[in-house]
Amino acid sequence: MKLQQLKDVFSDKILPEAKQDGTSKLAAVMIVIYGSEPKIIMTERPKSMNQHAGEISFPGGKWKDDDNDLLETAIRETKEEIDLDIRRDQVIGQLAPVTTLNSGFKITGFISILDDIPKLSSNAEIETIFQIPITSFLKTLADDTDPNHRSIQEMFTLTHNNKIIWGASARMLKQMVDVLSTKRLL
């Protein structure tokens, strides 16, 4: 799978408006894919965090009232968490929002596909930054059978270096797998 193929598949309208529905808190993440052998960036939260402790997710976070829209949230949080500057014109698409079960966040994932990235560094909200080869990683998608992950209709897992990715992040990755499978790229 090549970067241009990924750009062709995931390029779509971006609708970043922060629409409050009264039941969920809003959040946004940045799904960054880069490199000649495409890799996807994910982060691991410290086990000491109050919410989502030890979980593997995309860089991102809560929408703030002074953010113009959810894309600005994803861009701001990506810079804060992993010191990666993403410009609005480098964002090519977005995924359908997913909701976290334990914290009630409605998360919109934005996709940025870059040729290369600079050296990344994390802030205190990030324990580890992963740069995962995307093709082999997405092929690890499986149904989530862990009884500790409060089950809903669509629960999945993926694995990387014996780390389990589940919950909202896995549901976003499942959307990507579905699109790539439909285009016969995975």
Q: What is the pLDDT of residue 110?
A: 98
Cα-based torsion angle of the residue sequence 186, 166, 76, 103 in order, rounded to the nearest 10 degrees:
150
What are the tokens at 146?
């862990």
Neighbours of 119 (CB within 10 A): 6
What are the φ/ψ torsions at residue 91 (nearest 5 degrees)?
-95, 125
Domain spans of the chain? Answer: 3-133
Distance between CA atoms of residues 10 and 13, nearest Å: 10
- Say how many residues make up the chain: 186
Query: What is the pairing mode between strands 25-34 and 105-114?
Result: parallel
What are the φ/ψ torsions at residue 170 (nearest 5 degrees)?
-65, -35
Domain 3-133 CATH assignment equals 3.40.50.300: no
154 vs 61, 95, 103, 145, CA distance in Å? 22, 15, 17, 11
Predicted structure pTM score: 0.90
- Render each residue's pLDDT in the chain as its tens digit; 186 residues: 899 999 999 999 998 887 766 667 999 999 999 999 999 999 998 877 666 567 899 999 999 989 999 999 999 999 999 999 999 999 999 999 998 877 788 999 999 999 999 999 999 889 999 999 999 999 988 877 766 655 555 688 888 998 988 889 999 999 999 999 999 988
Q: What is the pLDDT of residue 56?
A: 92
